[in-house]
Chain A
Amino acid sequence: MNLKTKYSEQELVALLQQQSEPAFNYLYDNYSGALYGIIHQMIMDSETANDVLQEVFINIWRKISLYDAAKGRLYTWMLNIARNAAIDKLRSRGFQESRKNQAMPENVDTISASVGPKIDDVGLKKVLVQLKDEHRTLVDLSYFQGFTHEEIAKMMDIPLGTVKTRIRSALTQLRTLLK
């Protein structure tokens, strides 16, 4: 395994698309931690998070030919694969059943509770807690739990337009908070 080789993003993508194992090795060593962090923010259970990370890297390998640099950075692409995989897992039947005892977002109270600061001291969620309640809840539901705007509007009983505006406004704040 050739460690410590430094690739530019362009080189890395080109090699990955040629299915180079050293390039994939490099990708894993450099990005697995970041992606694992994101997955862990969404799925508390370590075993499940491990499964998801496995799935994510296998998917990256399989789908690398679909990556289009014009649409965004490699990390962004991988982040979306990770997020979708985590959401799929969160929504899968087996997972839902395994955490039956935990509060599912069926009303606003439990939603607010689920984004309380206690478990959210890492990553994006750390930033999230700095948002106003109404914004935080919406970002949590849409980004970390993968609900559509329509689902959120229904769940929280607020107009769809309001959901969209609030999420947009929350996201612009996110950018400032990340800096």
Chain B
Amino acid sequence: MNIQEYISSGIIESYVLGLASAEEKNEFEQFCRQYPEIREAREAFELLLEKQAMEQAVPPPPDLKQKIWGQINFNAPVGQTAPIGEIPQSPVARMGWLRYAVAACLVLLAGSLYWNLSLQKQNTAIRESLSSVQNDLDAAKNTIAGLEADAKVIQGNNIKMAALKGMPESPQSFATVYWDTTSKDVYLMVNNLPKPASNQQYQLWALLDGQPIDMGLLTITEKPLQLYKMKNARAAQAFAITLEKKGGNPTPEGKMYVMGNL
């Protein structure tokens, strides 16, 4: 390191005047211990500054000294200067008070946090149950609306009904067809049909003069006792349901499960 260069870099003035950064300070103090020249240069600048300040001294108002003396307790034992401007109180007592205050604050904080958390939990639970109740309510409303719509269909003036009864293949089976003679709409209610295999599907037929007419396939995810609109039938004497391969057939090939006349 070039000591002369360092000395004339302005670091001495920065340090002495309190303008150096913490990093610069540490470095400078270390160099002062290491290099007497640097320390001497520092002292020279300090003396210069001090001399100049002494020459430029401005005497403070005379009563100021008394004011200062009034605030200093010169009789305090060495190393125990009482903090000035504060109410003298033993450090232990002050610490004790502070400790309790901090402890109390911590307890309060913990309590409040716990309370907050449990409230939040409760809130979430209530919100969840509320939304599930809301869902149930919506589902119920839908069901009622569906049933009301069905009831209207069944109660129509021009509705003809056919009760499709179980055939020997499945005597327990039962379904109902409602046929609107004006609009020719066909509604099917599945009262009871065994669950078909996954590769099979029920198919509704209208029978006119012994000829089967395709009325559409049933998707039995459907709930019982609900009306499903099938294809329109311009005329029919009877209806029947057969079990066909998945996707249905143009003419019935499978076994007949239910049948009934209009």
Contact = CB atoms under 8 A, between A and B. Distances in A.
Interface in A1-51: 18-19, 21, 24, 28, 32-38, 40, 46, 50
Given A32-B65, A54-B67, A168-B10, A75 B53 contact: yes
Interface string B56-69: 11111100110110
A41 to B, nearest CB: 9
Contacts, number: 127
Contacts of A65: 79
Interface residues of A, number: 49
Contact of A50 (B43, B47, B61, B84): B61
A118 interface: no
A171 B20 CA distance: 12
B71 A54 contact: yes
Contacts of B13: 171-172, 174-175
B43 A73 contact: yes
A94 interface: no
Q: From DSSP, what is the main secondary structure of chain A's interface residues?
A: helix
Given A28-B65, A32-B60, A123-B53, A175 B48 contact: yes
A143 B18 CA distance: 8
Contacts of B94: none
Interface string A71-87: 11101100110011000
Interface of A: 18-19, 21, 24, 28, 32-38, 40, 46, 50, 53-54, 57-58, 61-62, 65, 70-73, 75-76, 79-80, 83-84, 122-124, 126-127, 142-143, 167-172, 174-175, 178-179
25 contacts: A19-B81, A32-B59, A33-B54, A33-B60, A34-B54, A34-B56, A34-B57, A37-B56, A37-B58, A50-B60, A50-B61, A50-B64, A72-B42, A73-B50, A75-B50, A79-B17, A79-B18, A80-B18, A122-B56, A123-B56, A127-B52, A168-B9, A171-B10, A171-B14, A178-B49
